[in-house]
Amino acid sequence: MSSSLIPAKGKHPGEPVAPFRRHEPGTQPESFYPAYRATRLRAPSQPLIFLPQTLSEVTGPVFGHSDVRPHDQDLTGQHAGEPLGERIIVRGRVLDGDGHAVPNSLIEIWQANAAGRYAHVNDDHPAPLDPNFTGTGRTLTDENGLYSFVTIKPGAYPWLNHENAWRPAHIHFSLFGPAFVTRLITQMYFPGDPLFGYDPILQSIPDGRARQRLVSKFDLETTKPEWALGYRFDIVLRGRESTPFET
Amino acid sequence: MDLIPTPSQTVGPYLHLGLTDAGSISRIFGDGAKGEKVWLTFRVLDGEGVPVPDAMIEVWQADPEGNYANQAGSTDGAGFRGFGRLATAEDGSCTFETIRPGCVRGPGKTVQAPHINVSILGRGILKRLSTRVYFAGERANAADPVLTLVPENRRTTLLAKADPARKSYWMFDVHLRGESETVFFDV
């Protein structure tokens, strides 16, 4: 069959689209949150327009093993020497809203070093850089949605948002999940950080239970004797609506 | 079970470290991909019209036949990936090299006009902003089921303009806020 005889599938109705659930009010940050100064000029002022999900929203890019290199999940093993700081293991599962594992999904992380300094040209915090620490990692979740990283506990650092502003120690996480609408970029915090109450980025999420999702838990099971403390950080992506509707 | 999804947080000013230093994708197709090659330049501007030099744009689009890579039944042929991402430069811009997408099936018997799905991330953006790029002058725009949800006076914010000086170059300004604010969708 010549290719010109194959109908353009995209132009014809096909199988129904199974949409993803919408967020409950209050469980995501407000876009405009004046206490976080940069939102004042960068958050939309008009309400978002509700878009019933189509094929464009329920599909998304897929990544594989070729996107991840061997040392990508061990941020302490990317240079000739070991980085300074408290070695930690961060481990968890990526789940959907129904508690099902999200397998083979790309996770990218980046973070400051133990002194609270990023290996980034724009970071001018007068804390030392560590020649043995870049602070970037990648991995794929396994078939059970599990992932783990070995890294260094990042330090808190000052920022210019307000008088005496400090970010609580955090690791940036980027996930794709199965669809355009499941894309998530977030930050993982450490339990009991005294800076939580002063941080407008964390406080921009109205719902306390949702904020708690971003705080990892100390985990003795993940902790390795004589080697590293373990933290557990499970990530929940949007799940599908229960009944796919005909589109 | 209905677990609360993990909330979004800003990508922050050092996104390059984790996402674009090693993970930029400016060309969204591989060798041998068929279709009309186009270059699409985004420019991200804040509420005062000042270029945003530390944003990131991600694009996701269908191939010229209207199929997404990895969608059930797609062939994933000819190296068409459909995904790209770039950080903005000092002037707030970034340019993707892509293939003009085809019409994509929409709800019911509708057909979606060629469009590119876009995420905008950056410092000061607490949750991903989602918009769509359509092509000015495209006949299918008139019946597009998503464009018609948008008040008529704001639809032009979703249209890429052809660069009069350069064939196959398109330009799309993202106004994060303000009078000419781009339409963002709740997806």
Catalytic residue of the set A172, A211, A213, A232:
A172
pLDDT in tens, A7-36: 334 444 566 789 999 999 999 999 999 999
**Is the pLDDT assigned to residue A213 strictly greater than 90?**
yes
| Out of A38-52, A174-188, A220-234, B57-71, least confident range | B57-71
**Is the pLDDT assigned to residue A70 strictly greater than 90?**
no
pLDDT mean over B15-23: 96
**What residues contact A121, with CB distance under 8 A and at least 6 apart?**
none
Q: Which two tokens stand for residue B8?
A: 């979004």
pLDDT in tens, B79-127: 788 999 999 999 999 999 999 999 999 999 999 999 999 999 999 999 9
What is the pLDDT at residue A12?
45
- Cα separation, B61 vs A57, in Å, equals 10
Contact B178 A213 (CB under 8 A): no
Closest CA to A205 of B126, B137, B96: B126
Q: Which residues of A are less than 8 Å from B65 in CB distance?
A: 8-10
A125 within 8 A of A158, measured Cβ to Cβ: yes
- Cα separation, B187 vs B185, in Å, equals 6
* Closest Cα in chain A to B60: A60
What is the pLDDT at residue B161?
98
pLDDT in tens, A149-161: 999 999 999 999 9
Q: Which residues of A are less than 8 Å from B68 in CB distance?
A: 55-56, 59
What is the pLDDT at residue A67?
87
Element (H, E) at B99: strand B93-99
What is the pLDDT at residue A205?
98
What is the pLDDT at residue A190?
98
pLDDT in tens, A85-142: 999 999 999 999 999 999 999 999 999 999 999 999 999 999 999 999 999 999 999 9
Q: Which residue is listed with tokens 């961060």?
A: A90
φ/ψ of B132, rounded to 5, equals -135, 145
A114 within 8 A of A153, measured Cβ to Cβ: yes
B176 within 8 A of A44, measured Cβ to Cβ: yes
Q: What is the pTM of this model?
A: 0.94
* Helix (H/G/I), strand (E/B), else coil: A67: helix
pLDDT mean over B146-152: 97
Name the average pLDDT for chain A.
Answer: 92
* Helix (H/G/I), strand (E/B), else coil: A230: strand
**Which one is predicted more confidently, A154 or B74?**
A154
pLDDT mean over B174-186: 97
- Cα separation, A206 vs A215, in Å, equals 15
Q: Which two tokens stand for residue A80?
A: 């000739």
Contact B124 A120 (CB under 8 A): no
Chain A from 101 to 160: CB within 8 A of any B CB: 108-110, 118-120, 122-123, 134-137
> Do the strands A170-175 and A184-189 form a parallel or antiparallel pair, or are they unpaired?
antiparallel
* Angle, CA A174 vertex, CA A173 and CA A179 arms, to 5°: 145
- Cα separation, A231 vs A226, in Å, equals 16
What is the pLDDT at residue B74?
52
Q: Which residue is listed with tokens 């949409």?
A: A19
* Closest Cα in chain B to A118: B14
Chain B from 3 to 42: CB within 8 A of any A CB: 3-19, 21-23
Chain B from 135 to 174: CB within 8 A of any A CB: 145-146, 149-150, 154
Name the average pLDDT for chain B.
Answer: 94
Contact A185 B176 (CB under 8 A): no
Q: Is A172 a catalytic residue?
A: yes
Q: Which residues of B are less than 8 Å from A78 in CB distance?
A: none
- Cα separation, A101 vs A85, in Å, equals 32
Contact A201 B112 (CB under 8 A): no
